[in-house]
Amino acid sequence: MIYSGAMLGILGGGQLGRMFTHAAQAMGYPVTVLDPDPASPAGAVAQVHLQADYADGAALAQLAATCAAVTTEFENVPAASLATLSARCVVSPAADAVAVAQDRVAEKAFFGRCGLGVVPYAVIHTEADLSALAPSLFPAIMKRARFGYDGKGQVPVADVAAARAAWQSLGAQCCVLEQRIDLACELSVVVARAADGATRVFPVAENQHRHGILDVSMVPARVAPALAEQAAQAAVAIATTLQYCGVLAVEFFVTRSGGLLVNEMAPRPHNSGHYTLDACVNSQFEQQVRALCGLPLGDTQLLMPAVMVNILGEAWTKGVPEWSRVFACATAKLHLYGKQEPRHGRKMGHYTVMHQSLDTALSEALAIRAALYPQWRVAS
């Protein structure tokens, strides 16, 4: 075990790194953040901020020399950097697990090996692959195989001609064409797995997106208990097969017929798990610290139904938002990420509303949302 007082490192300095840093510091661990951004939200609160590229040899050497253990806050950190660090200190999650999540082709093949269903898809490497596409795949979404998130690197397509144009617009590089299916809802599961194989699963979240970005998460998900348990067990199976150590998020599609399909995974805490900061015995970030340091995993019990809403840069359209509307709700908790520049689609913070009734929490959360975004009068 790695006990308090030891320095922990994290690759990535965004809001997930910031919340990990706060959790680690509360548990007595100083933190070093490696991130090239001088205005890094996590770097602003960490004991040390190494302002360098994630593949910078000198920065990695300093991180390895000063940290007892290192984790990451996003999946697109070079897996080679994690492998380099692992030769000198504890690294969680492992480079090979992160590498699977970095590539949609490898990820979908992995889900298949786990015996889990995915949306019908085709891999596009060349122009010839486009000509061979089955008409039954359309309408579809063309997704870049690597480096896509929050709807970036994705183009809806109606037919082969549109798919060809989309592939070119995405750089004529490896892509995955996924059939668009009629969804009942989308779910996510955050699971923590320790090095000894112990797992703890957080309550299943039901998610709504707006323009590819998570908008609202509701917990517990409004699905049958059997379906929620199926999603939880699928997430555990993925973590176990990967021999994963750390916090892993898995996103699912629920079809109109009640089928469960795996969408993608993230080898880190997840936006849809932010409710755990306020509504669970332990947060996903404390679990990340516990798994990284070899400590026993904490309880994931939901203390009260909760609704989490993202706050995007659009809320600053007419100046600083009126935060009094959030604070007027006695069970609302506001979290701002310390980002200096609000931009369209940029996650600037979130708030969570809790209530014994999920319907009441959702109603209050959406009322706050309408006040923060007067231009958005209809829920996603």
Q: Measuring CA to CA, how many Å separate 361 from each of 40, 224, 286, 323, 369?
A: 32, 20, 25, 18, 12
Residues 6 or more apart from 327 whose CB is under 8 A from it? Answer: 334
Query: pLDDT grade, residue 5 (50/70/90)?
Result: very high
Residue 164, pLDDT above cutoff 60: yes
Distance in angstroms (rounded) separating the CA atoms of residues 78 and 62:
17
Tokens matching residue 196? 């000894």
Distance CA 366, CA 358 (A): 12
Residues of the chain above pLDDT 70, percent? 98
Average pLDDT, the chain: 95
User: Which pLDDT value is given to residue 153?
Assistant: 86
CA 82, distance to chain mean position in Å, is: 19
Q: Three-state DSSP class for 295?
A: coil
CA 117 – CA 259 distance, rounded (Å) = 9
Q: What is the pLDDT of residues 58-75, one digit of tens each?
A: 999 999 999 999 999 988
- Measured distance CA(110)–CA(30) in Å, rounded: 36
Place of tokens 């070079």: 78
Give residue 91's Cα distance to chain centre.
19
Q: Which of 4, 9, 20, 11 is nearest to 64 (CA)?
A: 9
Write out the two tokens for 45.
Answer: 């609160």
The overall pTM is greater than 0.85:
yes
Q: Name the nearest CA neighbour of 228 among 278, 302, 177.
A: 302
pLDDT at res. 113: 95
Tokens of 155: 């183009």
**pLDDT number for residue 378:** 45
Smallest Cα–Cα separation from 302: which of 284, 285, 279, 271? 279
User: d(Cα 176, Cα 147) in Å, to the nearest integer?
Assistant: 12
Residue whose entry in the numeric block shows the structure tokens 């779910």: 187
The domains located in the chain, with CATH, are 8-91 (3.40.50.20), 120-179 (3.30.1490.20), 183-372 (3.30.470.20)
Q: What is the pLDDT of residues 236-278, one digit of tens each?
A: 999 999 999 999 999 999 999 999 999 999 999 999 999 999 9
β-pair partners for 255: 183
Confidence grade of residue 151 (pLDDT, cut at 50, 70, 90): low
AA identity, residue 159: D
Alpha helices in 8-56 (DSSP H): 15-26
Q: Report the distance separating Cα 378 and Cα 380, nearest Å.
A: 6
Alpha-helical segments (H) within 89-149 = 95-101, 104-113, 127-131
User: Which residues lie below 8 Å from residue 158, measured CB to CB, with a gap of 6+?
Assistant: 138, 139
Looking at residue 147, its pLDDT comes to 76
Q: Do the strands 246-255 and 260-266 form a parallel or antiparallel pair, or are they unpaired?
A: antiparallel
- Could you give the dihedral angle defined by the CA atoms of residues 170, 176, 182 and 185, in that order, rounded to the nearest 10 degrees? -90
Contact partners, residue 196, CB within 8 Å, separation at least 6: none
Give yes or no for residue 149 having a pLDDT over 90.
Answer: no
Contact 351, 326 (CB under 8 A): yes
Kindly report, residue by residue over 325-362, the tens digit of the pLDDT: 999 999 999 999 999 999 999 999 999 999 999 999 99
Q: Which residues pair with 199 in a beta bridge?
A: 193
- Mean pLDDT (whole number) for 180-198: 97
Task: State yes or no: pLDDT of 1 exceeds 50.
Answer: yes
SS3 (DSSP) at 9: strand
At 263, list the tokens: 């969408």
